[in-house]
Structure 1
Amino acid sequence: MGAENQTAFSEFFLLGLSEDTELQPLLFGLFLSIYLVTVLGNLFIILAVSSDPHLHTPMYFFLANLSFVDICFITTMVPKMLVNIQTQSKVISYIGCLTQVYFFMIFVGLDNFLLSLMAYDRFVAICHPLHYTVIMNPQLCGFLVLMSWVIVFWVSLLHILLITRLNFCIDTEIPHFFCELAQVIKLACSDTLINNIFLYMATALLGVFPLSGILFSYSQIGSSLMKMSSAGAKYKAFSTCGSHLSVVSLFYGTALGVCLSPTVIHASQRSSIASVMYTVVTPMLNPFIYSLRNKDVKIALGRLLCRAPSCP
């Protein structure tokens, strides 16, 4: 391989969602609004859960963690995108790109694990209601969240260590608004076999495994609901899963739906749209889904926002 193809470099170029200069102010305003709504919405969920004793349960413990992860998730990508739009620059440093890849892997993995843990919580609550408080005790919940952090931390770190051994070509343009792991690997000039193998393994661990857990939990929930004779009991039990099912459908459905869209759309464009849907839109909508569909959260948010003596 020629020396010119292994030239040391210090930056990548993020092509963003559009190169049309007339669209840049619109994109800046849109993503700034989405970012602020996401941060404020998820922050309100965290404050509501932490301040209301009625929400100190495993389900809302996982929800508060999910809201925190969503804030970090969108912060990993959108601020850099806004800076690049404002400065009319597409540059991201090599270290900055690897940092973005690292934290993106952490928070997307945590999103998957937390959604799976929330499904397991609903499975225990509906299928084993008499043993719920014993099984889903605070120690177990804390341990499950801690183990999720440990797993994604080491998997993400191994990805970064494997990337640092690669040599990159001169053409370092990334057809995304953030540094996506698969796109970064594609830019390498050196052998990426080990990186691709580990990428598939990590996808199975951080994506397929949690999704399988969600599907298994809801298959058991569905089986338990079918055995209930009372329609009211079925509705009451299933209604506790409504918000979580909506979030799961939004998170996994948007990415899969766009990936399976007609092939007339260019692959890189389709991938960028999918990334926007599950990295930006989903974290913004999660607080609305849980607050609008959950009576307890609405009451807690009302108490949080209404502190004046005249409020009920």
Structure 2
Amino acid sequence: MKKIGIDIGGTQLRCAIFDEDKKIIKKIKFENEKNLGCVKNLNKLIDFINMEKINYEFSGIGIGCPGPLDIKKGKILNPPNLVGWNGFNIVEFFQEKTLIKTKLNNDANVAGLAEAIYGCGKGYESVFFITISTGVGGAYILNNKIIGGANSSAAEINNIIINEDKYSHNGLNAGGLEGQCSGTNIARIASEKSNKNLNTKDVFELYHLKDKIAMQVIEDFCENMAKGIANICAVVDADIFIIGGSVAIHNPEIINIIKEKTMSKVHNPQTLKIELAKFEDDAGLIGAAQLI
């Protein structure tokens, strides 16, 4: 029987069908149109799945979605990147519309699970995965199992306080990791300092051109991310840290900079392993299918 992996993002909805060898045999993506709301957007995925039921028999659907979530109830709570989706029971919705067993977990958790089982974390007992894209997320995988904590919110590292900046991003802690290190906030900080309207790609292009403002913004970003990793390391002491997400995947040079800065902040720098994620866009799909 085939499995379905779904990756819910702030801008895209992605879906893949996996065969019995865990290989992707079909993949599709849709724009997540904010003006449509959750039901109309998700109906695009529902229609695709129900059409594919003609061709395949499915054992289940796994969904990776931005948190916070109530995983036990299958509900989306109040994710900052999915405005208007608050309180929506996505598991119930998919099960009713497709008649296929459905499981839900945090998008960072499922991407981390993919990296732990099949990617850079393969063979390690404890893996900490960090994603840097529109937001910042984390996942702690121990013996190929997601460690969710009492409220399924373990590794929600976006709220770690790493400096005294007073900016609060989407209601998170002022000086929090997401407010300082997400792609959104790299662009925000650079735009404020330069009095220009810049996106994340612009900032890194200027960084490579040795623009002084961009260089300082990326230097601060790497320093703040190193502080975050050092704090995590002091708590979980993972065998390996894996960094993914669009910011890292498209700018892999930041990995060594972050590692060098982190080494000066941890007890055992000689054993610190920080690597770029193996999987790019497909990590969330692969990990979501592993929920089944």
- Which structure shows the higher helix fraction? 1
Q: Normalising by the residue count of structure 2, what TM-score does the alignment of the two structures yield?
A: 0.33
**CA radius of gyration, larger in:** 1
TM-score (norm. length: structure 1): 0.31
**Structure with the higher fraction of residues in strand conformation:** 2
